[in-house]
Structures are given as structure tokens and as C-alpha cells.
Amino acid sequence: MFMMPLHPPGRAMHETLQEDRDAIFLAEELGFEEAFVGEHVTDAAETITSSVAFLASVAAQTGRIKLGTGTVNLPNAHPAAVAAHVAMLDHLLKGRLIFGISPGGLMSDAEVFGNLGKDRNEMFVESINTILRIWESDPPYNIAGKYWTVSTEKTMLTEIGQGFIPKPYQKPHPPIVGTAVAPFSNGVKEMAKRGWTPISANFLLPKWVGSHWPKYVEGCSEAGLQPDTRDWRVAKSIFVADDAKTAERYGKGLDGPYAFYFRQLMRKLITVGGRGNLFKADPDMPDSDVTLEGAIGNLVIAGTVDQVVDQLLAFRQQVGDFGTLLYACHDWLDPALGRRSMELMAREVMPRLNQRISAQ
């Protein structure tokens, strides 16, 4: 499961946070393998401001499911703080943590942290390099970069433990994943070269999702690593219902939660972010021709169990084989339907889907 999360602005924050927690508890109960949680600081629709803090709030109430930051937006925090918080969370989860990282894509976050005019990709690389050096070295540290410096040389008191930043539970560190949100993403290639694995976003057209695997193979080849499709995670917006009429209304209707999600996302990515290309099969298509109806039709899988299985098989045929399907978690406009979709996905869709794949 992957939740941004995204809820209608105006909903009580404590209610949406509990809904997101309940979704993870249900995922654990249903046998989901992983749950990733996003973060943004300046968005009334995305009310998880720290994925690390949120995952810490569910750590003790889960025992099997792996939990992932999806993602920590590295330019927005000091790398020493990220290294310490992630290490602590890894200990709370006793190794169930997946460390998802990115430069961050919300422009208002970039502005509030003073990064709007800076090279956030450069900041991202420096930050993760600094975090990894902190984890692999001992204090007093001496890590100087363009954007951050890490040292406890002046204040370290070895005999009482002052000046130490904790190391993760997993050695040498939790597995690292990165999100891929662009066609033919060079970021996927760079991830592969470093032994990290990609998550392809649920708001990319299938033809652009399919462009990620060749980039991953290219990066692995340059690093002398063996690519494995089991390492590729692909997110998808999916709604499963007991009847086709409900699936069409709730999953495809313009007043449903999936339409709300893409309406919000398209406004952010196209109007503010200038990334209308994500929704276009033809790059020459004008932004004005990108419609909500088209996005829903191209990007949302909705139907009964058998219909969803067929649609997922068709999607897999388009993009190629991948190891983990990430069920994109949307607002529970109707909590009963939201829960039922997850139940049907875990208990009906996935067994039939894997059986069909095995028989091919």
C-alpha cells in the first residue's frame, strides 16, 4: 500500500490521521506486505507532516508489515536530524523499516524551507551522502558539504556518550527506495547504480511506467549489478467493489475520492509544477487538452474482482513484469467501500492475479 495521503481540505486533521492509521492496521490484518506513507508540511489536503513520526505512531500496534517512508523529502531537513530520526524508527520497528527518499515535489514546501530557487536534486544527493556517512562513521564526525556541515568535535564527551548520532537497527542501514515520477527517469538509473530500488508512481501513464525498467537495467549494468524485476515496485490506483455499478460510481465518478485525488494532483503538477507531460501519451499535446476524465480513465483501475484482475494483467502486459504492486490508498469518502476494496484486493484479486501470472 502507498498513501500520499490526500484528503479533502477541511476534514478534521485528527480524523484523517486516524483514518490513515486504520488503513495501515487493516493492511496488516489482511496480509499486505508493505505500507508506504508520504509527507508534506504545507498542504491542507496532505496532513501527515512527517512520515517518520507517523510511522512511529503505528509501530507498536503492528508486528509484521514492513513500513516505509514514502518519502522523506531530504532538502527540507538537516541530514543529521534525518539520520537520527530514521535510525530511531528502525529500532522501534526492529528492522521492518524501508527508507524511502526523494527531493520532494511540493513547491510550497520548497518555498517554506527556502529551497525554491535552489538545486534540490543537488541538495538531495548531498543529504543522502551525508546520512550514509553518519551511519558508517564514528563521532566526532567531520562532514562538510555545500549545504550542510556535520561535526561534534567541539562538544563531544566520549565518556558520557555526548556527540553520538545513533546508527540504524539494520546493518549497514535500512533498504533505500526512491520514487520515479518522470518518463525515462534518469533518477532510476542513478538509484540502480547505488543499489537502491525504484517505486514507479501511480499517476504515470502505463507507457511511461514501462520506461523505468530499461533505465534500472542500464544503471545496474554500469554498476556491475544484476537487475531483478522483484526489486521493482509499481503503484496503481485501484478500487475493487462487489458490483460493477458501485465500482464505476465510486472509482470513476467525478464526485468520488479517486476523481478528487487526480483533480488535486493535476492542479499541483500541471498548473504549479509545469509537469503536464506526466499525463500525456503524446508530449506535443497541449496542457489544455489534459482532462480529469482522461486521467481517471487512463490511470484508475476499477471494477469487480474479475474485472480488476483482467485490468491488472493488461497493465502488467503494457509495463512489463514487476515484483510488488503498491495499492494506492485514497480518501475513505465511504469508509465501508474503502475497507471493502482493500479486503477484496487482498483476499480475492491478488490470489487470482498471481495464479493467472503463474499459469502464463
Give the Cα separation of 304 and 318 in Å (integer): 21
Q: What is the pLDDT of residue 63?
A: 97
Residues comprising the chain, all counted: 360
Q: What is the DSSP string of 323-346?
A: SEEEEEE---SSHHHHHHHHHHII
Q: What is the DSSP string of 85-127?
A: HHHHHHHHHTT-EEEEEE----HHHHHHTT-TTS-HHHHHHHH
Lookup result for grid cell 488503513: 23
Q: Which of 294, 304, 301, 302 is nearest to 243 (CA)?
A: 304
Helices (H), 233-304: 244-247, 257-266, 292-299
Residue 253 in contact with residue 300, Cβ under 8 Å? no
Q: What is the pLDDT of residue 274?
A: 76
Q: Which of 112, 18, 45 is nearest to 73 (CA)?
A: 112
Q: What is the pLDDT of residue 160?
A: 97
Q: What is the pLDDT of residue 74?
A: 98
> What are the φ and ψ backbone dihedral angles of 77, each rounded to 5 degrees?
-150, 160
- What are the C-alpha distances in Å from 233 to residues 107, 179, 315, 319? 25, 9, 14, 12
Residues of the chain with pLDDT under 50: none
Extract the C-alpha cell encoding 295: 486521467
| β-pairing verdict for 143-144 and 176-180 | unpaired
pLDDT in tens, 10-19: 999 999 999 9
- Whether pTM exceeds 0.75: yes
Q: What is the pLDDT of residue 208?
A: 95
Looking at residue 306, what DSSP letter applies? H
Q: What is the pLDDT of residue 284?
A: 85
pLDDT in tens, 265-289: 999 888 776 777 888 888 888 888 8
Give the Cα separation of 342 and 175 in Å (integer): 26
Q: What is the pLDDT of residue 268?
A: 87
pLDDT in tens, 111-161: 999 999 999 999 999 999 999 999 999 999 999 999 999 999 999 999 999
> What are the φ and ψ backbone dihedral angles of 6, each rounded to 5 degrees?
-145, 115
Other CB atoms within a 10 A radius of the CB of residue 68 amount to: 26
Q: What is the pLDDT of residue 273?
A: 67
Q: What rounded mean pLDDT belongs to the chain?
A: 96
